[in-house]
Structure 1
Amino acid sequence: MSAKLPLLNERIYAPYKIEMLVETLDEQGISPAESLQGSGLEVGEIHNPDRLTSVRQYLSVCRNAVQLSKDPGTPFKVGLKMHLSAYGMYGYALMCSDTLRDFFNLGVKYHKLATPTLTIRWREDAESAIWVFPDAFITGPSRELKEFLIEQQFAQHVTHLKDVAGRETAATKACFAYPAPPHASIYEQYLGCPCYFDQPECELYYPAVILDQRPQLAHRLTSTLLQETCDRLIGETKISSGTAGEVYQLLMRTPGVFPTMEEAAKILSMTPRTLRRHLESEGTTFAQISDDVRCSLATEYLRTTKLSTDDIADLVGFSETSNFRRAFKRWTGKAPSDFR
């Protein structure tokens, strides 16, 4: 059992999704202890916002739900409870979006903060704004778990749009890239729109006309401030999770000394090719991580010390200050002196 527990650097999410799922199962007579079995979590921990959890732990509880619950509506019920107010700064940034188009954009940009089990994207055509779930077939799931995650994700999106735009905002149709399950008749009941199966992709459609509407709590300044916080939180997830997180921590370990990718791979007990493949699967590269680390260190030195630009350039691995100035302008759009 312990082999399935997450690495410490994967535990970066507050347990609100786990709490909602356990609460829903408890309403069906399934005890929290049963729901959490094999997750590495104790019952009291899921109510503590400071107790960080991982996607892997959430998936463990979802597997328990699939096995224990007799109610096919469970994932929909959980999704409909997932109001944006439960998502912290990410949720508030979405609620304060200037337009619903901004809401769609920010939802994708900051989705990493939402204990994600599926990738989300969106597109628009002449008639519709469309949430797209391109990797609905996650690695190695059972068919039941796959459908559970998708059903919950669709219900969450329906809830979020109503939180932002008002209760009258309804989807026009939902498409699913798998055959109709035995409980297909309840999909429309929970999602409030026609549902179609055996489609090319999992998609949720809204009228395109809503994109220029202003959310109920739209506030440009507040949204900007909250986006700055979300940008910082996204940066923290980068240095906390997966192989990318291990590389970030390695590069941060000795400021001024930056190992090459070959050296980093050796320290991490893998080949450079394997390291490159792992990072690509997480949507990044060694060069991008190196730039992010150098930028983070440089901006921190500029904010909090009186070190000269020459000294900072040396500390972040540049032998020539002119090269540092050019890189810093590329990273931030500002010269070091203007940033300071």
Structure 2
Amino acid sequence: MNQRLMSIDSINAKQSIMGISLLGKLVVSKGYDLEGMLNKSGIAMDLLNDPKASISLTQEIAFTRELVNTMTEPDLGFQAGQCYRINAFGHIGLAAGSSDTVEEAITFFLKYIRLAYTHFDIDFFTSAGNAVLRFNDKYNLNDLRRFYLERDFSFAFLSTRDMFPRSIVGQKPKTIHFDFPCPSSVEHYQKLYQCPVHFSMPHNQILFDERYLALALPLANSLTRELLEEQCKSQERALLGPQNYDEKIRVIIQATQAEIPSLDKIAKQYFMTPRTLRRKLKEQGVSFQQLVNEELCKKALHYLSTTTLTVEQISIRLGYSESASFIHAFKRWTGKTPKAYR
């Protein structure tokens, strides 16, 4: 494992409470004190009843460590993965299940992987007749790494078993590769995962017959998926904030009540050069000036439609030193003067 990975304790990310809620059912079913474990992790018990609640990554790690230290069962990671079903992931799971094919479902799920509960980056590709899901370390998980790998692999196998048809003629068997030594016996793991399991391998990955990827899913519905994806986007923004630089810059412009910060100033906020920021925006198909124009136009239309502010007052709020400059810009954006639009 790469020891230069960022410590997970230093990450200030948020995630849904639902992952903890699902594991809480496992804790209760085994007769352990869920509320005590939550209190030690800084998580209020009543949050489990709020599906919109979020917790910090640090809190989630603290709870997982309490779970592992308290429930000292050798198969705990596998059992934890069995607590999850694809529909337990809310909109992302339902949207994936509405995809046309297995490949589209996996691709969709990975597109919004930040809404899931994994702490790994996942590569998806085909090789030698196999489809491969390779789990790469994103943080330094230390003593919890094996638990999270076994949990996520258990979930992956459970969800694919739910989605995939039972068999393909002449299919290759599903196979698991772990990069850590076998903790007990290979036979024990193969019984748990119901497939060949190999240890001390170069990568942590799941392999299955690539012909599965083209198979149609029984609940495929393009309209449902489109509607659910909009919900995924909203949930992603609410939970994680803007992720792409065009979104981040739009948020800055929207929050500014006077002169818009220059690209140079915004680049400094993200510890990069203006040239790098321009390149990143170009990769997203936009320019800085395009973002400024679009957001100023939205603001202008809002003020003209919902307030009695004068054109001069609106131009000041948008950062123009002269109303004539604003009028010229507004006409370029809309084909009308502000007065004509109002």
Q: TM-score, normalised by structure 2?
A: 0.71
What is the CA–CA distance in structure 2 between the aligned matches of 1:56 and 1:295, rounded to whole Å? 39
When structure 1 is superposed on structure 2, of 117-126 and 246-255 the one drifting more is 246-255
SS in 1 for 2:201: coil
What is the CA–CA distance in structure 1 between the aligned matches of 2:329 and 2:164, rounded to whole Å? 50
| Deviations 1:209-268, CA, capped at 9 Å, x for gaps | 111111121112212222233234334445268x99987754542166442465357xxx
What is the CA–CA distance in structure 2 between the aligned matches of 1:124 and 1:225, rounded to whole Å? 29
Q: Is the 8 A contact 1:5 1:39 kept in 2?
A: no
| CA gap 1:300/1:141 in 2 versus in 1, 3 angstroms | same
Q: What's the counterpart of residue 337 of structure 1? A: none
Residue identity in the other structure for 2:19? K
| CA gap 1:152/1:293 in 2 versus in 1, 3 angstroms | farther
Paired residue total: 300
Q: What's the counterpart of residue 271 of structure 2? A: 275
Residue 295 of structure 1: how far off its partner (Å): 9.2
Q: What's the counterpart of residue 189 of structure 2? A: 187
What is the CA–CA distance in structure 2 between the aligned matches of 1:77 and 1:210, rounded to whole Å? 26
What is the CA–CA distance in structure 2 between the aligned matches of 1:115 and 1:285, rounded to whole Å? 28
Structure 1 segment 317-332 matched on structure 2, within 5 A: none
When structure 1 is superposed on structure 2, of 119-128 and 198-207 the one drifting more is 119-128
Say if 2:18 is the partner of 1:19.
no
Q: 2:175 aligns with which of 173, 176, 186?
A: 173
Q: What's the counterpart of residue 140 of structure 1? A: 140
What's the C-alpha RMSD, in Å, of the aligned pairs?
4.2
| CA gap 1:200/1:302 in 2 versus in 1, 3 angstroms | farther
What is the CA–CA distance in structure 1 between the aligned matches of 2:22 and 2:85, rounded to whole Å? 10
What is the CA–CA distance in structure 2 between the aligned matches of 1:285 and 1:165, rounded to whole Å? 38
Residue 306 of structure 1: how far off its partner (Å): 7.3
What is the CA–CA distance in structure 2 between the aligned matches of 1:47 and 1:296, rounded to whole Å? 40
Q: TM-score, normalised by structure 1?
A: 0.72
Residue 45 of structure 1: how far off its partner (Å): 1.4
Residue 51 of structure 1: how far off its partner (Å): 1.7
Residue 102 of structure 1: how far off its partner (Å): 0.2
Q: Is the 8 A contact 1:93 1:226 kept in 2?
A: yes
Report sequence identity in percent.
Answer: 20
SS in 2 for 1:178: coil
Gaps (5+ residues) in structure 2?
A: 1-8, 306-313, 334-342
Q: What's the counterpart of residue 311 of structure 2? A: none
Structure 1 segment 105-144 matched on structure 2, within 5 A: 105-135=107-137, 138-142=138-142, 144=143
When structure 1 is superposed on structure 2, of 70-79 and 200-209 the one drifting more is 70-79
SS in 2 for 1:151: helix
| CA gap 1:34/1:238 in 2 versus in 1, 3 angstroms | closer
SS in 2 for 1:75: helix
Residue identity in the other structure for 1:225? L
Residue 34 of structure 1: how far off its partner (Å): 3.1
Residue 83 of structure 1: how far off its partner (Å): 0.6
Q: What's the counterpart of residue 90 of structure 1? A: 92
Q: Is the 8 A contact 1:99 1:213 kept in 2?
A: yes
| CA gap 1:15/1:235 in 2 versus in 1, 3 angstroms | closer
Q: What's the counterpart of residue 81 of structure 1? A: 83
Q: Is the 8 A contact 1:55 1:117 kept in 2?
A: no
Residue 118 of structure 1: how far off its partner (Å): 1.3
What is the CA–CA distance in structure 2 between the aligned matches of 1:244 and 1:38, rounded to whole Å? 39
Q: What's the counterpart of residue 220 of structure 1? A: 222
Residue identity in the other structure for 2:95? A
Q: 2:53 aligns with which of 51, 54, 62?
A: 51
Q: What's the counterpart of residue 309 of structure 2? A: none
| CA gap 1:108/1:32 in 2 versus in 1, 3 angstroms | same
What is the CA–CA distance in structure 2 between the aligned matches of 1:296 and 1:78, rounded to whole Å? 47
| Deviations 1:181-232, CA, capped at 9 Å, x for gaps | 2465543233221111111111001111111111121112212222233234
Structure 1 segment 142-291 matched on structure 2, within 5 A: 142=142, 144-166=143-165, 172-182=174-184, 185-239=187-241, 250-254=252-256, 257-260=259-262, 263-264=265-266, 272=268, 275-276=271-272
| Deviations 1:308-340, CA, capped at 9 Å, x for gaps | xxx99x969999969x97xxxxxxxxxxxxxxx
